[in-house]
Amino acid sequence: MQQQKITVTLLGPSLTGVGGISTHTKQIFYSVLAEELHLIFFQVGSEGREESVLLKLMRYISSPIEFFWLLFKSKPQIIHVNTSICFKGFWRDLAYLCIARIMKKRIIYQIHGGQLPQDFFKTNRVLANFFRWILRSNDVVVVLLGQAELIAYQKFSPDLHLEVIPNAIEIGADPQWKKSRSDHDRPLKLIYMGRLIRAKGVFEIIEALKILIDFDKNIQLIIAGSGPDELMLRTVVEDMGLNGVVSFLGAVFDEKKNRVWEEADLFVFPTYFNEGLPYALLESMAARTPPLICSVGVIADVIQDSVQGCFVPIQNAEALANEILRLDKDRALISDMGEACRQRILEHYTIDRMIGDFRQTYLNLLRNEN
């Protein structure tokens, strides 16, 4: 008699979304785990939906009911919630957690960045204790962050069952020719890839570029992505007279994205956002494109300064310009860092490693239940 497959329900934003949580959920849903387990996806949140205020209100009411009905029909053993620690995400996902707990399901609560637990509801002790109780009500809390974040969760609630499972990417073709690309006569090619919001440091990049161009440096910048600050960013580029230096590509995918990474020399990402583990960082490293990045969140656990990339101060366009200028004069260092980037990804951030981690987590949950 054939053994019945384990059923896992994945909760997250639209699988067609461009955010990190969407990418992560899609990686699991379309992985080899889909052949070994019965995976069901349930969409939460507004990404990928065109809604009026009335439709959004109706979804808030109907979505938990639909989730309850899904669990009743499909009878999954495990509920895998993908969320971030922010006000909106926490209260939205609370309804699904309560339903899953009432129906006595095993729950994995995976946190994709956001605030540290000590900072969430830090001005309200009652809500902070409630948040601690919610974390404890899950069978496993998965963080993709580094040691500092892991320690923060351990201190916030010492009895949590915590696991660290970092993000991962598909490893594409290896642009080995980058190892020896040290021609100083060609332009230095910079890339920013991500959401176009101020907290990602995009305006500091433009300010730094203006400083460099005033020194008559031969530099090009490609901006790949979209977001709420795109119109303002385009206006700033035009006002600074940088239209001939900066190119906007919009969101890029698949082979086009791979080509953009491979053609770039440096990934400029001076973010001061509450980052988890940005997929753009991993993609740049796999393509031997070292990052210029701020040491926020998990990033210091992924790269070493001047080994796989270089750290720059937060919101400091002048320091960013100086670092770009330094590396422009040392193309050999860029190549060396690119090689170190590729090796770092191969050793720690592959899809096979991540899927293996989740396979073991799922099996351990059910083994402990029995």
| pLDDT above 90: residue 179 | no
- Are 131 and 264 found together in one domain? no
270/203 Cα distance (integer angstroms):
10
Identify whether the C-beta of residue 38 lies closer than 8 Å to the C-beta of residue 7.
yes
* Lowest pLDDT segment from 43-47, 158-162, 182-186: 182-186
Q: Length of the chain in residues, anyone?
A: 370
- Are 115 and 231 found together in one domain? no
Instruction: Give the residue-averaged pLDDT of 330-347.
Output: 94
- Are 164 and 35 found together in one domain? yes
Could you report the per-residue pLDDT of 201-255, keeping only the tens digit for each?
Answer: 999 999 999 999 988 778 999 999 999 999 999 999 999 999 999 999 999 988 9
- Are 224 and 271 found together in one domain? yes
Q: Looking at the domain assignment, is residue 197 inside a domain?
A: yes
Identify whether the C-beta of residue 269 lies closer than 8 Å to the C-beta of residue 292.
yes
- Percent of all residues in the chain with a pLDDT value above 90, rounded to a whole number: 75
166/182 Cα distance (integer angstroms):
33
pLDDT band with cut points at 50, 70 and 90 for residue 300: confident
Question: What CATH number has the domain bearing residue 12?
Answer: 3.40.50.2000
Could you report the per-residue pLDDT of 68-116, keeping only the tens digit for each?
Answer: 999 999 999 999 999 999 888 899 999 999 999 999 999 999 998 888 8
- Are 340 and 356 found together in one domain? no
- Are 79 and 185 found together in one domain? no
Question: Global pTM?
Answer: 0.86
- Are 39 and 21 found together in one domain? yes
Print burial letters for 70-101: b (CB count within 10 Å at least 16), e (below 16).
Answer: ebeeeebbbbbbbbbbeeebbebbebbbebbb
Instruction: Give the residue-averaged pLDDT of 182-199.
Output: 89
Place of tokens 């009911």: 65
Q: Looking at the domain assignment, is residue 2 inside a domain?
A: no
Instruction: Give the residue-averaged pLDDT of 260-267.
Output: 95
Q: Looking at the domain assignment, is residue 58 inside a domain?
A: yes
- Are 266 and 304 found together in one domain? yes
Range of the domain at 75: 7-168+350-369
Could you report the per-residue pLDDT of 13-41, keeping only the tens digit for each?
Answer: 999 887 889 999 999 999 999 999 999 99
Per the structure, how many domains does the chain have? 2
133/367 Cα distance (integer angstroms):
24
